């Protein structure tokens, strides 16, 4: 096997010197050792011209190889590679994160990751989460065995259902309260999905704050409140549907973000409930927290 071209380590370009040497050796084989091929001779000049042309072809071959290699492709070429994997670039997404999605680097559940990404790219989607029950019994969310549930906020029902149907393996059913009928290859298919109910929540968090180990003053309660509110409403970090807002969640964020700030406790009000919840605000699987107000006070 040639040591140049497509190799397990990538594409190896044949050096110009090696190309010229092979041309000269082939002429010796054809015309004998007496042929004059010095750089100044006419044949040497012709050899150099053909070597340059051949070297250019090797460089072109390397460019073609890189254009379809997700680890090396960039821009529009990377988009074309992604379409082969049924993976679309998100709005404003840079090559680095898109390349990681194509290669599934660091991803254990490839099908679920691809499904989640495809749903996220549907126009108007502002939250999506994929759940799977691979056991033989109902799970803690009452999902039946061998089912996948996709929870979505925003986007068009039919577009989302079409994407889900494209990624669901044979033998796996979908789970959810909304049934969407779509036409796939001339046949009607029913896809279930979850449209979680957004429950408004107002939180009050108690903290203690002191100068950190470097002597810097503690952040004000309003700064902590603004950062916590952003964390709880951001599409990438907001609590999932069915996830409680509890002391562990709030403590983990505050104490890992702010040096010198300690979580003391929390209470909050949830839609349809008049009494506050202390240290844990519960949510059912078909509900999701919509944090509308965050107040931070000294504990």
The domains of the chain are located at 5-67, 107-193, 197-298
Per this entry, what is the length of the chain?
A: 299
pLDDT score, position 95: 77
pLDDT score, position 231: 97
pLDDT score, position 32: 87
pLDDT score, position 108: 43
DSSP state of 155: S
Count the neighbouring beta carbons within 10 Å of the beta carbon of residue 201. 22
pLDDT score, position 45: 92
Low-confidence ranges of the chain (pLDDT < 50): 107-110
pLDDT score, position 36: 87
Residues 6 or more apart whose Cβ sits within 8 Å of residue 284: 242
pLDDT score, position 31: 87
pLDDT score, position 106: 55
CA end-to-end distance (rounded Å), the chain: 72
pLDDT score, position 2: 77
This model's pTM is above 0.95 = no
pLDDT score, position 1: 57
Residue recorded with tokens 């406790």 = 265
Count the neighbouring beta carbons within 10 Å of the beta carbon of residue 47. 21
pLDDT score, position 105: 61
């Amino acid at each position: 096997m040639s040591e140049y071209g497509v190799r397990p380590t990538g594409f190896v370009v044949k050096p110009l010197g090696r190309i010229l040497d092979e041309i000269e050796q082939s002429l010796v084989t054809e015309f004998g050792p007496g042929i004059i091929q010095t750089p100044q001779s006419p044949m040497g000049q012709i050899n150099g011209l053909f070597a340059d042309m051949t070297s250019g072809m090797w460089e072109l071959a390397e460019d073609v190889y890189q254009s379809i290699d997700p680890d090396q492709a960039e821009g529009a070429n990377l988009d074309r590679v992604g379409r082969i994997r049924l993976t679309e670039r998100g709005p404003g997404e840079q090559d680095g994160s898109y390349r990681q999605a194509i290669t599934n680097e660091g991803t254990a559940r490839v099908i679920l990751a691809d499904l989640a990404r495809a749903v996220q790219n549907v126009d108007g989607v502002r939250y999506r989460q994929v759940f799977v029950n691979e056991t033989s019994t109902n799970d803690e969310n009452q999902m039946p065995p061998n089912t996948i549930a996709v929870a979505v906020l925003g986007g068009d029902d039919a577009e989302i259902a079409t994407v889900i149907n494209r990624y669901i393996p044979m033998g796996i059913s979908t789970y959810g309260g909304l049934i969407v009928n779509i036409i796939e290859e001339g046949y009607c298919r029913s896809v279930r999905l979850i449209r979680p109910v957004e429950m408004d929540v107002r939180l009050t968090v108690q903290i203690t704050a002191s100068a950190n180990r470097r002597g810097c003053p503690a952040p004000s309660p309003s700064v902590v409140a603004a950062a916590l509110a952003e964390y709880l409403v951001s599409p990438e970090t907001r609590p999932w549907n069915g996830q409680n807002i509890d002391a562990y969640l709030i403590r983990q964020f505050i104490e890992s973000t702010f040096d010198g700030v300690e979580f003391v406790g929390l209470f909050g009000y949830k839609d349809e409930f008049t009494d506050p919840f202390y240290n844990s605000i519960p949510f059912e699987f078909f509900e999701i927290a919509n944090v509308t107000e965050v107040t931070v006070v000294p504990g």
